[in-house]
Amino acid sequence: MKAAVYEGPRKVSVKDVPDARIEHPCDILVKVTTTNICGSDLHMYEGRTSFEPGRTLGHENLGQVVEVGSAVSKVQVGEYVVLPFNIACGFCKQCERGLTNYCLTMQPEPSLAGAAYGFAEMGPYQGGQAELLRVPYGDFNALRLGEDAAERQLDYVMLADIFPTGYHATEMARVRPGDQTLVMGAGPVGLMAAYSAILKGAGRVWVADHQQDRLRIAEEIGAVAIDTNEADPVEVVKDATLGLGADNGCECVGYQAHDPQGQEDASLTVNQLIDAVRFTGDIGVVGVYLPEDPGGEDAQGELEAQGKLPLDYGLMWFKGQTMGTGQAPVKRYNRALRDLVAGGRAEPGFVVSHELDLDEAPSAYEHFDRREDGWTKVVLHP
Ligand code: NAD
Ligand code: ZN
């Protein structure tokens, strides 16, 4: 089968690999019809992780079931399913607590937790930027879609990751109706956090970024854009709230945050949120901070290379804020979010800027990695 394979830093090629197949009675096999490139794929693409050359990328996958293992009883051949990026067993101590993002069974390395398709350090599973995908524990890990699935794939595929992830940021930030919420980052994840806050009835949602094309999309969904080339988001929010600050904040940039001059500063956006969010407000961080980053030439870089950030913890403590972090437990939300989509209340496919054939994956990665104007979210059709 054809697959988008990681070859080394900034090199992806589409080549023939052995067909994915049923390996366990609980597996299902999915013919992938829609698969996204994610900001998280860029951590691997840019060579910032231990992702092994030769592995297939892709953790945001939707497709049609073509085969089920002998122990699968619910999912049926022919159905469209979307696959939460976290792969989980459903029966371990963590899964029983709803923490499928930290499943103990699917992660073979005891010091790590959580598994995903086509991801560094998250188990040996292949990604879905390919014609076929093996899904372990298919009855648990596949979210079944209704009859409109084939026509509305661009909306439903966002349930694999970025819609529940953006929603999770707003849950950790405890966004309630009427709240004033600051979202750092207008990438696909930031746009989904803003969209989720708006769906929850937030009174005002600011989205800060320096990319004009992405800020325009934020405005189209009803958020207030802050261009960080023009203004300091902390000042904008404080000016608009009589100095009090936002009720809550969502961090959707991660360790690749950079200042308007283009210098990387991994702790910039988290510290801006601590400053911009009011006393006893809540912050949800879904942007990724890796414990080990091969970069780091100076003292600051060395600290960041170990995942250690100069965090304004004193201010955060003084303000009595809470901060939630980590991977999103997609399964916790995606059934409800699916039903919002099915009911016509949510159309997260608005983030898609490019629909391309799988063969175009190498150039799609290049454009998306350069954050080129207009390349917001790329969807591939194998
Ligand atoms: P992206 O890289 O496309 O978007 C990041 C955005 O942040 C870009 O638009 C960039 O211009 C902007 N940015 C950079 N520096 C900034 C600054 N100082 N202030 C404001 N904006 C700034 O990526 P994405 O797909 O939107 O993902 C965002 C982050 O979320 C990544 O770290 C990704 O790995 C992570 N993520 C986490 C989860 C999870 O489960 N927690 C799931 C998916 C993605
Ligand atoms: Zn993703």
pLDDT band at 300 (very low <50, low <70, confident <90, very high): low
Chain mean position to CA 232? 25
Residues 129 and 228 in one domain: no
Parallel, antiparallel or unpaired: strands 132-135 and 28-36 = antiparallel
> To 5 degrees, how large is the angle CA 281–CA 203–CA 39?
70
**Over residues 212-237, mean pLDDT:** 98
> To 5 degrees, how large is the angle CA 125–CA 190–CA 173?
95
Residue 264 pLDDT: 87
CA of residue 43 to ligand 2 center, whole Å:
11
Residues 135 and 249 in one domain: no
**Over residues 365-380, mean pLDDT:** 96
Residues 84 and 172 in one domain: no
**Over residues 336-360, mean pLDDT:** 98
**Over residues 114-139, mean pLDDT:** 96
- The CATH number linked to 247 is 3.40.50.720
**Tally of domains in the chain:** 2
pLDDT band at 283 (very low <50, low <70, confident <90, very high): very high
Residues β-bridged to residue 68: 28
Q: Which helix (H) or strand (E) holds 313?
A: helix 313-318
Residues 156 and 196 in one domain: no
Dist CA 73 CA 79 (whole Å): 13
**Over residues 260-274, mean pLDDT:** 92
pLDDT band at 48 (very low <50, low <70, confident <90, very high): confident
CA of residue 251 to ligand 1 center, whole Å:
8
CA of residue 29 to ligand 1 center, whole Å:
31
User: What residue's CA is closest to ligand 1, atom 19?
Assistant: 209
Q: Which domain holds residue 183?
A: 163-325
Residues 167 and 281 in one domain: yes
Dist CA 243 CA 317 (whole Å): 19
Residue 304 pLDDT: 62
User: What residue's CA is closest to ligand 1, atom 16?
Assistant: 257
pLDDT band at 262 (very low <50, low <70, confident <90, very high): confident
DSSP state of 247: E
Is 149 or 297 the better-scoring residue by pLDDT? Answer: 149
User: What residue's CA is closest to ligand 1, atom 14?
Assistant: 257
**Which ligand sits closest to the CA of 378?**
1
Dist CA 76 CA 156 (whole Å): 18
**Over residues 210-236, mean pLDDT:** 97
